[in-house]
Amino acid sequence: MTHDLVTSLRPLLTAEVSAEAYASGAEPGDLEQAVWLRLLERLEVDGPPRDPRRWLRSAVRIEARRTRRTSRNERPYETEPADAAEQEPEQLALTAARHRALRDAVRRLPGRCPRLIEALLSPKDLTYREIAGELGISQGSLGPERSRCLGCLRRLLTPEVAAG
């Protein structure tokens, strides 16, 4: 049943996602992945929708609006110091030492984690979309990958923080 539903909805989903993705600023693949996830959640709780085609069109629009809202609310992090005390030579030296320790730990991370964390720490303030494109992964996979890499980084830094 589920396989037949997915097979029958795939062409419609592809068309709807293509129409909505550009306006929402989302990658079509990420939008499609989000809608499939919503369908799986729906199937677990309520079973298949009564009118699957109508449900799918609505789900695509809801996910597109969610993406637009999220991108509209994203703000870059402030990179300037909050006050002049952070400009003192001692503070600058301590900050530089912390940055070196962080960069050293990032280089020791496994797999593509070093590239991902470097992109997240980039002064260019890259968006998830740009980072995903640079790494060649879907934007939807970036969050879970980031969490895994930050967990590895946390484990690497814990002994250094405890020793300091």
In angstroms, the CA 38 to CA 55 distance is 10
pLDDT digits (tens, 9 = 90+) for 18-62: 888 877 777 888 889 999 999 988 888 888 899 999 999 999 999
Domain ranges of the chain: 2-73, 87-163
Neighbours of 149 (CB within 10 A): 21
Q: Which CATH class is domain 87-163?
A: mainly alpha
How far is Cα 162 from Cα 6, in angstroms, rounded to an integer? 51
With a cut of 70, which residues of the chain have pLDDT below it?
A: 1, 74-86, 159-164
Report the SS3 class of residue 113.
Answer: helix
The CA distance from 71 to 30, in Å, is 14
